[in-house]
Structure 1
C-alpha cells in the first residue's frame, strides 16, 4: 500500500513520535545503513514501549500496510525500510541495565552492540556481539549472532535467557524456556518472523577490561599463504581467542601502517586473545615465523575498542550487498577460489571475512536452537560488496555473486548465515535452516503470525495449520 490514511489517529495512540513525509526530518528518519536502499515508508512510528508497538501493528494491519521493524537498520537489503509501509522504529529504546552479581543484562529492543558493550564492560563482562559496533543488537541476536567471542561464549542467541515480544495480534508476551518455550526456541536464530522483540535478557561472561589484538597484513601475492596460516591458527585456536581472516581488505589509514601502503588491498589475520598477554604472544608467534607480514600491529586494548576495530570498513551510508556460506574446512580448492577471484573486485571497500568457529559454538546441539547453520562447521564466510556509489556497487555485486557461486561447491551444506544474506528468497531461506528446522519454524510461525504480518525479513512462511490451532498459545 503506497498511502496510509488517518495518520493523525495514530499520533493520538502513541506516546512516541509519528513521522511522515511532511515532517522536516523524514529523510533522516527513514535512512538506513545501506545507502543504496532508497524506499519511502508512509509512516515511521518511533515507539517507546510495547504499547506503542501494539498500536502501530494494529494501525498498519487495519490499513493493510506492510510492516518493518527498525533496530540498528544495518541489514544490507534494507529490511527496515518498506516502500509505502509502516516502520516500527525502536531506536528510542536503547537502554541497557546490567546486574553484575547474576551476570545478566536487560537490553531494550533498539539497542546497538555498542550500547550493550559499553554497559557490560564496565563490570568486566560481555556477551558475543557482531564485528561492527553500530549494528542493531536485535537483528543480530535473532539471526544467531557471530562475533569475536563465539569460541568462548557461543552465539549471541545461545546466551538469550528471555525476551519481551509483541505479537501480530498485539499481545505482549514474556518468552523464556519456561514461558512459550516453542517461541523461545524460534527466537534463537529464526529472525524477526514471530513478532517485535522490545527487550532481551542475556547471560554475560567474564571478559576482563583488557584484551589483546594481533593484526598481520600481507600483499595480494601472498594471499594464499596468508589463508593457509589462518587455517593453521584456526586448527588449534583456544576457547579464549578469536580469529578473523580478511581477504581484499584495504590497509587502514593508521599510524602503524607505512604511509606507502595505506589504502592498499591485501590479506589480513586478526587474532584476538581474551586470556593473558603471554597466552596471546604464544598464539601469534607462529604467524610471524611462517611468513613475515608487510606490517603488524599487536596491542592490548579495551574490549569495546576491539568491537569497533572494523567499524571503518562499513561506514554509514555505504552501498552494500553481501552473501554468506559455511565451510567445513578451508581447503586448498577454497583457498584457490578466494585468491583467484579476489583481484576481480572493483571497489577498494569490498572484502571477504572468514570467521573461525568452534569451542562454545560447537557445544550446543544442532536442534537446541533455531540457528540456521550446522554446529559442526568450522568457518563462516561473508562476501561483502561495498562501495561509495551505486555504479561501483553494481560491478561488485556481480563479483560477490560470482565469488559466492564459486565457493558453493566447497561449502558445508547449501545454506548461509541469514544475517549476511542479501538475497533471501524462499529457496535460500529454506536452505539456510534445512528441512527439519524450517518445518518446525513454519509451524511456530503459523501459531503466532498466521497471516505473515512480519514478512520483511528472511521470511518463513506459516505452515497451513487449521485455524483452531492458531491464536493464543499456552506454554508447552
Structure 2
C-alpha cells in the first residue's frame, strides 16, 4: 500500500542488488493494481508499490531469489507463474493503451538513498490518473560486464537504476495534471541523479542538452562523428537527435 512506501523501497535497496545474475527486476512506484484475477477485489486500481522479478533459471532458483522479498515485508498480494518471454514483454501493455495521452521523463539514480526514498514516497501520491506511475529499472549483473565505451548506450556501466516517470491518461486534461507531476518529480530527483539525461527512449521533451547528458560528452562526440560520415545532412532527425559533427 501507499503507506508502506518507505519500507518497501528500503527493502528494494537490500534485495534488488542481491538478485542472481540471471534475474531481472522492475520497481514500480504508485502502480495502480490491475483488475486482474490474481488481485483481490478490494485492491483493484488502488495505487501502491510493487517489485516485479523475472527469473530465467529453474523454478527452485526463482523461489530462492524471491524468498528474501517474501520474508522482508508482508505483501497485499503476490503472483508467481511461469511466463513465456513474449508474455513478459507485453504484461504492461494494457497500462499504455493505443490512443492514450502520454508523457515521460527519466534520470539515473545510483541507489535508493534515504533522500531519494523521501522524494519518491512524497511524490507517489500526487498523480491524478490511475494509469500513471514510476517504473524504475535496475541495471546490474551482465549489464556491468560491458565497458562504458564498448557500446553507444549512455550512462555508467556500474550498477544503478533508470528511474522513469510516466504520465498516461485517457483525456488531455488529466494528462496535463500528470505532466506537471512528472516534471515536479524529475526536478526533485535531479540533485540525487548520476545522469539527468536518463535513457533516450524515455525522453518526451527532446533537447540537445539532455541528449548530450544522456550519452556523456565523449560518447556523444564519437556518435556525432559517425553521424557526420553516414548522415551529414541529418536526414534521420525525428528522434533524440545527435547532430553531425
- TM-score normalized by structure 2? 0.97
Quote the residue 2:55 is aligned against.
273
2:192 is the counterpart of 1:413: no
Whether the 8 Å contact between 2:138 and 2:159 is mirrored in structure 1 is no
- How much has 1:456 moved relative to structure 2? 1.0
Q: Given the alignment, which residue of 291, 299, 319 partners 2:101?
A: 319
In the alignment of these two chains, the number of paired residues is 245
Cα distance, 1:230 vs. partner? 1.6
The match for 1:285 is: 67
1:262 and 2:39 matched? no
Shift of residue 302, structure 1, vs aligned partner:
2.0
Take 2:36 and 2:127, find their aligned partners in 1: how far apart are those partners?
23
Shift of 1:342: 1.0
Q: Of residues 211, 216, 223 in structure 1, which corresponds to 2:5? A: 223
Deviation of residue 429 (structure 1)? Answer: 0.8
Counterparts of 1:444 and 1:321, CA distance in 2: 30
Does structure 1 residue 299 correspond to structure 2 residue 81? Answer: yes
Q: Is contact 1:377–1:412 with CA below 8 Å preserved after alignment?
A: no
Q: Give the corresponding residue for 1:389.
A: 171
Match of 2:26 in 1: 244
Structure 2 residue 142 is matched with structure 1 residue 360? yes
Q: Deviations over 1:402-441 (max 9, x none)?
A: 1011111111133210010111111111111111011111
Compare CA radii of gyration and give the structure with the larger one: 1
The answer to whether the 8 Å contact 2:106/2:196 transfers is: no
Deviation at 1:389, TM superposition (A): 0.9
Deviating beyond 3 angstroms after TM superposition, the runs of 4 or more aligned structure 1 residues are: none
Tell whether 2:236 aligns with 1:454: yes
Q: 1:233: which partner in 2?
A: 15
Q: CA RMSD in A?
A: 1.1
1:438 paired residue number: 220
Residue in structure 2 matched with residue 53 of structure 1 by the alignment: none
Distance 2:89 2:243 in 1: 35
User: Match of 1:7?
Assistant: none
Secondary structure class of the residue paired with 2:125: helix
- Cα drift, residue 355 of structure 1: 1.1
Q: Tell me if 1:371 matches 2:136.
A: no
- Within 2, Cα distance between the matches of 1:283 and 1:377? 18
Partner of 1:350: 132
Is the 1:350–1:396 Cα contact (8 Å) retained in structure 2? Answer: yes
Distance 2:63 2:142 in 1: 23
Structure 1 residue 296 displacement after superposition = 1.0
Q: Partner of 1:180 in structure 2? A: none
Name the structure with the higher helix share.
2
Residues 17 and 140 in structure 2, CA contact (< 8 A), matched pair in contact too: no
Q: What is the CA distance between 1:457 and its match in structure 2?
A: 0.8
TM-score (norm 1): 0.50
Measured in 2, the distance between the counterparts of 1:456 and 1:336 equals: 36
